[in-house]
Amino acid sequence: MQSNTEKPSVFNLFKSDHRYKYLDAFITLFVVVLVITNVIAPKFFELPFFGHTLQVSVAQLLFPITYVFGDIFTEVYGYSASRRAIWYGFMALTLFALLSYVAVIIPPAPEYKQQAAFYTIFHQVGRIVAGSMIAYWCGEFANSFTLARMKILTSGKHLWTRTVGSTVVGQAVDTCIVIFFIFYDQPLHVIFSLILSGYVFKVIWEVIMTPVTYRIVGFLKRTEGVDYYDYATNFNPFTTKVKEDEILTSR
């Protein structure tokens, strides 16, 4: 059992945890994937689904991977590592939204002929940006909290129940919030249809990714020598403590 003697500070969120070889690399990949999904999100394609056609954003092919990352962070390194990654992602999305807005409103030089295309890609509606960021924040924390609690309930067994179960909860929160923000003025049956189709797609994608999650989690637990159980964790999303009282099982 280790106790935290470090004074809380917002700058603790930026500190690396040098106990682990791969944590910072995976957090970096997580943030990159998150930002890319916001760039490619405006494009949609048609997906056949049991005799129907779903309109699916290409971002939905990539965004569920962020939940795989969340599962890995919580399962291997604990909730505090996942919390740090979520805040990194939130800050990156905030910076991306601000810079995209500034880049669009700056008058182009006369020689620049692609302003219309640039506007189409990077122009963002404030309501949609706010909805996406709130949905991401709530969904990711719901995902990590659920997995951390389920790991204790299952005594660390049956990883698939935690990866799928946490996604069922996290994606439900995420999908409901973002759809209501974007399509608030649509009839309720349209909103529920969009929520259902997006939610089912994301959960199925998570199930498909389960073997990949197993491989990565197994590799990290072996090489890092850590298997974190959040028995004494402070689940407050806003805490700035990096090291908390912890119970750590090494393998």
Please tell me the predicted confidence (pLDDT) of residue 74. 96
Distances 105 to 93, 99, 108, 119 between C-alpha atoms, Å: 19, 10, 9, 9
Distances (CA, A) of 209 to 43, 67, 103: 23, 10, 36
pLDDT score at 122: 82
b/e map of 76-86 (b: 16 or more CB within 10 Å)? bbbbbbbbbbb
pLDDT of residue 251: 45
What are the boundaries of each domain within the chain?
Answer: 10-249
pTM of the model: 0.84
What does the pLDDT read at residue 245? Answer: 45
DSSP per-residue string spanning the chain:
-B---SPP-GGGGG---TT-SSHHHHHHHHHHHHHHHHHHTT-EEEEEETTEEEEEETHHHHTHHHHHHHHHIIIII-HHHHHHHHHHHHHHHHHHHHHHHHHHHSPPPTT---HHHHHHHH---HHHHHHHHHHHHHHHHHHHHHHHHHHHHTTT--HHHHHHHHHHHHHHHHHHHHHHHHSTTS-HHHHHHHHHHHHHHHHHHHHHTHHHHHHHHHHHHHHHT-EEE-SS----TT---SS-SBEEE--
Q: What confidence score (pLDDT) does residue 250 get?
A: 47
How many CB atoms neighbour CB 24 within 10 A?
Answer: 15
Q: Are strands 227-229 and 52-57 parallel, antiparallel or unpaired?
A: unpaired
Q: What is the dihedral of CA 67, 68, 73, 75, to 10 degrees?
A: 110
CB burial readout 229-250, b (16+ within 10 A) else e: bbeebeeeeeebbbebebeeee
Residue 138's contacts (CB-CB under 8 Å, 6 or more residues apart) are 173, 174, 177
End-to-end CA gap in the chain: 17
In DSSP terms, which residues pair with 247 in a beta bridge?
229
At residue 10, the pLDDT reads 58
What integer pLDDT is reported at residue 246 of this predicted model?
47
Low-confidence ranges of the chain (pLDDT < 70): 1-16, 49, 54-55, 125, 240-251
Per-residue pLDDT tens over the stretch 131-176: 888 999 999 999 999 999 999 999 999 999 999 999 999 999 999 9
